């Protein structure tokens, strides 16, 4: 009885179980315009593509966390399942902490570090 109650409570509590935490990766291409990038985001959860999420993409420069606020854009669902497209307008090149805010089936926030140069973005590891 107590175990059932516990399970009931646990199932109701939102956002449990880190094993269900979504994962993401980013592929960006430079467009013709300065500092504007065309980005494709791939979301997955528990090994399967995460569909139907509302993704808002923002970015921050690590060394000035609250200054270079890039206006967040809503990503559009792309053709492949779990893929979303967004145009990122950064104010300069360099290492950015891309912030993915997820709503919909899963509420979460993911931070990915990428180095943006004149061609596109590569994952940044320090």
> Is the CB of 48 or the CB of 107 nearer to another protein?
107
In the range 27-86, which residues lie near another protein by CB under 8 A?
A: 34-35, 56, 58, 62-67, 69, 71-72
The residues, ordered by sequence, that sit 6+ positions from 67 with a Cβ below 8 Å of its Cβ are 61
The strand order across the sheet containing 108-116 reads 73-74, 54-60, 94-103, 108-116, 121-123
Per DSSP, the residues of 23-85 read EEEEEEEE-SSTTEEEEEEEEEETTEE--S-EEEEEEEBTTBTTTS-PPPEEPEE-SSTTEEE
Task: Establish if 107 lies at the interface with another protein (CB under 8 A).
Answer: yes
Task: Establish if 7 lies at the interface with another protein (CB under 8 A).
Answer: no
Task: Establish if 101 lies at the interface with another protein (CB under 8 A).
Answer: yes
> Is the CB of 11 or the CB of 118 nearer to another protein?
118
Determine how many CB atoms are found less than 10 A away from the CB of residue 56.
15
Task: Establish if 18 lies at the interface with another protein (CB under 8 A).
Answer: yes
CB of 37 to another protein, least distance (A): 13
Cβ distance 35 to 91 under 8 Å? Answer: yes
Binding part of the chain for another protein, among 2-10, 36-44, 79-87, 118-126 by CB under 8 A, reads 118-126
Q: Which residues bind another protein (CB under 8 A)?
A: 13-19, 21, 34-35, 56, 58, 62-67, 69, 71-72, 91-94, 97, 101, 107-109, 111, 115, 117-118, 125-126
């Amino acid at each position: 009885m107590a175990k059932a109650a516990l399970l009931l409570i646990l199932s109701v509590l939102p956002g449990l179980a880190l094993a269900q935490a979504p994962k993401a990766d980013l592929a960006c291409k430079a467009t013709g315009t300065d500092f504007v990038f065309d980005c494709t985001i791939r979301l997955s959860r528990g090994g399967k593509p995460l569909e139907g999420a509302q993704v808002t993409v923002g970015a921050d420069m690590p060394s000035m966390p609250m200054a270079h606020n890039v206006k967040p854009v809503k990503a559009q669902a792309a053709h492949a399942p779990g893929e979303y497209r967004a145009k990122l307008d950064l104010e300069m090149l360099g290492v950015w902490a891309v912030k993915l805010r997820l709503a919909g089936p899963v509420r979460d926030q993911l931070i990915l570090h990428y180095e943006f140069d004149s061609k596109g973005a590569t994952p940044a590891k320090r």
